[in-house]
Amino acid sequence: MVCPSCGQAHPIRSWDWKQQGGFARLLVQVEEIFPGEAVPTDGLFDLLERASGCAWRHFYVQD
Ligand SMILES: [Zn+2]
């Protein structure tokens, strides 16, 4: 992925989105939550990891 500001190219996984954006092949979208208003619990992450077999993280998107 190429940064539109400085033109540097790095693998998308190496970018630090500061939880203000992200990308996913599989996601669970929860709407009507402002950034930082709610945080997924460890229990939810554990459940998702057991069901999918991969680690999960979260990020916020504000339209
Ligand atoms: Zn840049």
pLDDT in tens, 2-60: 989 999 999 988 888 888 888 888 999 999 999 999 999 999 999 999 999 999 999 99
Q: How far is the CA of 62 from the centre of ligand 1 (A)?
A: 21
Q: Is 58 exposed, middle or buried (0-12, 13-18, 19+ CB in 10 A)?
A: middle
Q: How far is the CA of 47 from the centre of ligand 1 (A)?
A: 36
User: Residues with beta carbon < 5 A to ion ligand 1?
Assistant: 3, 5-6
| Residue-level length of the chain | 63
The DSSP line for 15-62 is: ---TTS----SS-----S--TTT----HHHHHHHHHHHSS--------
DSSP 63: -
Q: How far is the CA of 34 from the centre of ligand 1 (A)?
A: 26
Q: How far is the CA of 13 from the centre of ligand 1 (A)?
A: 15
